[in-house]
Each structure stands twice: as structure tokens, then as C-alpha cells.
Amino acid sequence: MRPATEALIVIDLQNDFCPGGALAVAGGDGVVAPINALMADFAVVVLTQDWHPADHASFAANHAGAAPFSVTTMAYGPQVLWPAHCVQGSAGAAFHPGLATDPAQMVIRKGFRAAIDSYSAFFENDHATPTGLEGYLKTRGVTDLTLVGLATDFCVAYSALDAARLGLGVTVIESATRAIDLDGSLALARDRMRAAGVRLVA
């Protein structure tokens, strides 16, 4: 068992991000078993869950004529327009059925404000509106994080970068993540994480 100052953060291991889902990450379900095995090593386990209203501004279907994966500009900057996914209460928003959810003490839901997307487990995409995860980890005495889940180049990377910016030690276990890799987004995310001091391990 690792020290109680270390937490495992499992990012968005939901049906819509797994094969057959609305925004499937190739091989996304392949991380379930390694993540379940990791949980036994951590006294602090947190799950994050994308939790969008149906009218979410990041959905291409809510922008007339917009194609999925095109980019628009929101008040907070560029925003990829995604296929509708992880709609509140839907089967797609549920955790993968193979994920061991019982060991988690906290579930952080994000992206529930219709006007702003939220990749990071810590802040929405304005980089200012908090999810509450930072406060939870502080009160638990956590100083170091291990991040796993989906997808490496979006929600995992944004979470890792925010955690590093907040002064936390951050490790990403790449074998327990999978990437979308949209136009080279994986290489860019890995470079950004390394530059921020995030430790990438196999």
C-alpha cells in the first residue's frame, strides 16, 4: 500500500469512451483490468465522470451545420465540437461495467454546465471554474497523484497539467490510458506534460 499522501485518479472510464460508445477511444476498455489492479495500492481513490446536459455547447449537434471534431471559438477559447456523449443519466455516461467502483471514496462529475466544457478533473475549460477536487485532495492530505483513464491526450493530460500547476506531484501510467490522437494531439499532450514536470511511465 502506498502512503496516504498518494491518490489514484481514474479519469472518465465511461461507456461512451469505450468501444461501441458515442466517442469511443480505440482500446479504451483495455485499461479496465490494470486500473482495477492498481486500486488496491492506494488509500485514496477518486473517479471522474463526464456529465453533460443534452444541450451542451461542446456538442456539434447543438451548432447548426457544424461537423463533429471541428473547432469553434467559445468565450474561453478554442473548443472542439464533439459527438454528443456522456449525457446525464444515459447508459453512455455510466462507468464501464467492469470498473471496480467500490474502492473509490469520491466521484467528481464535470462538464455539467451547458455553456462550458470540462476536460480537466480540476477546472473547467476556462481554467478558472473549479470542480472541487483540489479542495478534497488537500483535506485528505494528498500531495502526489497517479492518473489513469481516458483519454490520454485530453482529459488525462488536462488533469495532469492542472495538478502540476497546483503544485502536486503527478505521474501518468501510460499503459493504463488510451488516446484519441486527433491530428497529433497525443504527441503534443505528451510534450506538454513532460514540460510541466509530469512523470510519464509505461
**Catalytic center residues:** 12, 110, 155
In this structure, the dihedral spanned by the alpha carbons of residues 141, 144, 146 and 150, taken in order and rounded to 10 degrees, is 80
How far is C-alpha 90 from the geometric centre of its chain's CA atoms?
18
What residues have CB less than 8 Å from 128, skipping those under 6 apart? none
What residues have CB less than 8 Å from 37, skipping those under 6 apart? none
Q: Mind giving me the DSSP string for 75-110? A: TTEEEE-BPS-SBTTSGGGSBPTTS--TT-SEEEEE
User: In angstroms, rounded to a whole number, what is the distance separating the alpha carbons of residues 175 and 128?
Assistant: 30
C-alpha gyration radius of the chain: 16
38 sits in which H/E element: helix 32-39
Query: Which of 43, 39, 52 is closest to 10 using CA atoms?
Result: 39
In 10 A of CB 174, how many CB atoms? 15
